[in-house]
Chains A and B, each alone.
Chain A
Amino acid sequence: MLRRPISLLMLVAFCAAAVTVHADASDDLVDQIVKLLGHPDREFRAAALERVRTDAKGATHTLTFAAQLPKLDASARAALITALGDRGDTAARPAVLEQLDGSPDEEVRTAALAALGEIGTPSDLPRLVKALASESAAEQEAAGTALTRLRDPSVVKVLAADMKTAPPQVRGKLIEVLAARRATGELDAIIAAAMDDDASVRTAAMNALGQIGKPDQLATMLPGVLKAARGGERDNAERNVAEVCNRIDNEGQRGDALIAALDTVAVAQRDELMPLVGRVGGKRLIRFVADIAMGDDASRRSFGIDALSKWPDASPADTLLEIANKTTDAAERRQAFQAYVKVCAIRDRRNDQQRLERMKQAMKEARTTEEKIAVINRTRTAYDVEAMRFVRPYLDQPEFCQAACETIVELAHHRQVRDPNKAEFDAVLDQVIKLSTNDELVERANRYKRGETWERKK
């Protein structure tokens, strides 16, 4: 009878001993890590930080590590905060907040903001939102990343509510965060922001819609395009709406959806959205735009031609050529022909030979020096040695010589075109070197002759 309690006692004693040994081993590791955290050599510190991230689990050890923060210099402190964030134990949160609020070092505050993305709670949202307006770009970025990563279902609602009252600079960033969090439940708030008076907020909203918008909201996005200022902002808004349209796989349905959305816009404003139609493309929409581009109203025709010029492939080429050839208005001929050459040259699904054939056809149709130069310029998109052979004779004609030089150098830029025809390219590049008045082109020609690369300036 006595044996059972004795066995039980022995088992308890064994377990207690095992726990003690384990705790001792764990403490030893923590001591090792703590000693290394203050090491003057960053590589040694990094070895310890790696262990902070993954080993010696438990809140007690986390607090021991966090307690080292005040003893370290700024750089080591920032690294430890990052490691504590990666460790993911919320026990480190108070120490991290203390560093965020009390440290004068940007590096430390940035690390603390980023760490809150891993170990923060919704109560940290005001701090993080405030940091979006920080003077430090690094802190802004860290706060944005933290807001994106913070794990709590209430975060999105709070951010969407903040978006309505925050200053414009912060509003834009909050929209970026909502998009990164794929906050599709807040699309209405983002659509409303697309009509904001501040351009940066509008742009952020349209970008967000481009990322997470749904095709059934196309109609609500169009006012955002119209509100966007002409130029870069309008282009960006159109691109984002086109992005949403392209989520509809079927080309016909895509066209119908956009036309249905256009029907919700006042007729007077509809023509302004023609370039957007061009960006979406597709046979269904060609007919829709071609009717406008070839209609009786001259001002509407211009919108239509502009839309066709933005088509994502060469399908409206023949329509544009027809407009260019039929019109009696010089400006319209100019606009239509330039658009025709542009879509002929576009790098769509056609191969380079097909693209070159279109350029040869365009050259036959060109009437003026300006039109021929446009063709020579755009021939650079046909990555084929035949394109160089097509352009080369224009080197001998003074009015086309400089355009031909540029196109030949652009074609030579492509190693797969240049290398198999090196002797021929070397000879024509020698001509370019002799004839070009552009120093950069001459330098590029020399580089390609030597088999070197050239990086395009951004």
Chain B
Amino acid sequence: MLDQAFEALKTYDYGTPISELQGIEDAMVAAHADPAVRQDLEQHLIAALGSDISRDAKDYVCRKLAGIGTPAAVPALSKLLPIEANSHLARHALERIPGPEALAALATAAKELSGKLKIGAIGSLGARGDSSSVATLASLLNDADPAVARSAAMSLGLIGGSEATAVLQSAIQTGTGDKDSLIDALLECAESLVRSKQTVEAKVIYESLSGDQQPRLIRLAATRGLLACGARTAAS
């Protein structure tokens, strides 16, 4: 049944009924309970990714690897990162595969690729939310491409934590990168601190952004943040 489905995958393209791949769908379900099935399925999927199949088929394989992929799938997925047609779904899988291998592949892509593909890789680093990406993202804050600098700031905001906060505060002070994006990211960091009840740290950020020299909307966001800190402290 599985072999039959992978045979069908060779000619699978837009418009082909998904029922032809039912064998893979069934194996996905079985993989949750049986590590051997999972390993076998992953190997089949990795092999398929390296073969000459359609874009839609590769997208399908990436989606399945996002569900059951392990570090073993990282090399095959990494090869798709520089290809515009496949990069998005490859990142979709790499964002979800656990372990440092997937993170390293995305970090390499964020450094080496350019344009939209680079921005995509930066966004995926933010989506993974791993603080070990902070240094990579910090180095991109003053990238010549403003869109790259902005997305690096946003990803730092998504990662949050004290390290990302320090990088963003320092960049604001030294005038590195896009100021609006840096402040947005800093507010994002502060919100995640409030959520994790680190109100003292969050308050410091909000107070730094509530001064009269800040634009109205930033002051408003900082004021809301300070109130949220107060409410969280009073409730705990």
Residues of A within 8 A of B (CB): 22, 25-26, 28-29, 32-33, 36, 41, 43-44, 47-48, 50-51, 54-56
Given contacts A41-B216, A55-B235, contact A47 B224 (CB under 8 A): yes
Which interface class (under 10, 10 to 19, 20 to 34, 35 or more) fits B? 10 to 19
Is A25 within 8 A of B233, CB to CB?
A: yes
Residue in A closest to B216 when the chains form the complex, CB atoms: A41
20 residue pairs of the A-B complex, CB under 8 angstroms, read A22-B234, A25-B230, A25-B234, A25-B236, A26-B234, A28-B233, A28-B234, A29-B227, A29-B230, A29-B233, A32-B226, A32-B230, A36-B227, A44-B223, A47-B224, A48-B227, A51-B227, A51-B230, A55-B234, A56-B231
* Residues from chain B with Cβ under 8 Å of A33 in the complex: 227
Whole-angstrom distance between the alpha carbons of A36 and B223 in the complex?
A: 9
From the candidates B216, B220, B223, B230, name the one contacting A28 in the complex (CB within 8 A): B230
From the candidates B220, B226, B227, B235, name the one contacting A43 in the complex (CB within 8 A): B220
Is A29 within 8 A of B223, CB to CB?
A: no
Smallest beta-carbon distance A445→chain B, Å: 41
Whole-angstrom distance between the alpha carbons of A56 and B227 in the complex?
A: 11
Smallest beta-carbon distance B102→chain A, Å: 40
Interface residues of B in 197-236 (CB under 8 A from A): 216, 220, 223-224, 226-227, 230-231, 233-236
Is B234 within 8 A of A29, CB to CB?
A: yes
* Residues from chain B with Cβ under 8 Å of A28 in the complex: 230, 233-234
Whole-angstrom distance between the alpha carbons of A28 and B229 in the complex?
A: 11
* Residues from chain B with Cβ under 8 Å of A47 in the complex: 220, 223-224, 227
Whole-angstrom distance between the alpha carbons of A304 and B236 in the complex?
A: 73
Smallest beta-carbon distance A53→chain B, Å: 11
* Residues from chain B with Cβ under 8 Å of A43 in the complex: 220
Whole-angstrom distance between the alpha carbons of A47 and B216 in the complex?
A: 13
Whole-angstrom distance between the alpha carbons of A222 and B85 in the complex?
A: 72
Most buried by A among B220, B234, B236: B234
* Residues from chain A with Cβ under 8 Å of B230 in the complex: 25, 28-29, 32, 51, 55
Residue in A closest to B230 when the chains form the complex, CB atoms: A29
Is B227 within 8 A of A32, CB to CB?
A: yes
Smallest beta-carbon distance A52→chain B, Å: 10
* Residues from chain A with Cβ under 8 Å of B224 in the complex: 47
From the candidates B220, B231, B233, B236, name the one contacting A44 in the complex (CB within 8 A): B220
Whole-angstrom distance between the alpha carbons of A41 and B219 in the complex?
A: 11
Whole-angstrom distance between the alpha carbons of A347 and B180 in the complex?
A: 57
Smallest beta-carbon distance B228→chain A, Å: 9
Interface residues of B in 144-186 (CB under 8 A from A): none
Whole-angstrom distance between the alpha carbons of A28 and B226 in the complex?
A: 11
* Residues from chain B with Cβ under 8 Å of A44 in the complex: 220, 223
Residue in A closest to B228 when the chains form the complex, CB atoms: A51
Residue in B closest to A51 when the chains form the complex, CB atoms: B227
From the candidates B216, B220, B231, B233, name the one contacting A51 in the complex (CB within 8 A): B231
* Residues from chain A with Cβ under 8 Å of B236 in the complex: 25
Whole-angstrom distance between the alpha carbons of A392 and B236 in the complex?
A: 75
Smallest beta-carbon distance B204→chain A, Å: 15
Residue in A closest to B219 when the chains form the complex, CB atoms: A44
Whole-angstrom distance between the alpha carbons of A32 and B236 in the complex?
A: 17
Smallest beta-carbon distance B215→chain A, Å: 13
Smallest beta-carbon distance B116→chain A, Å: 35
Most buried by A among B226, B227, B236: B227
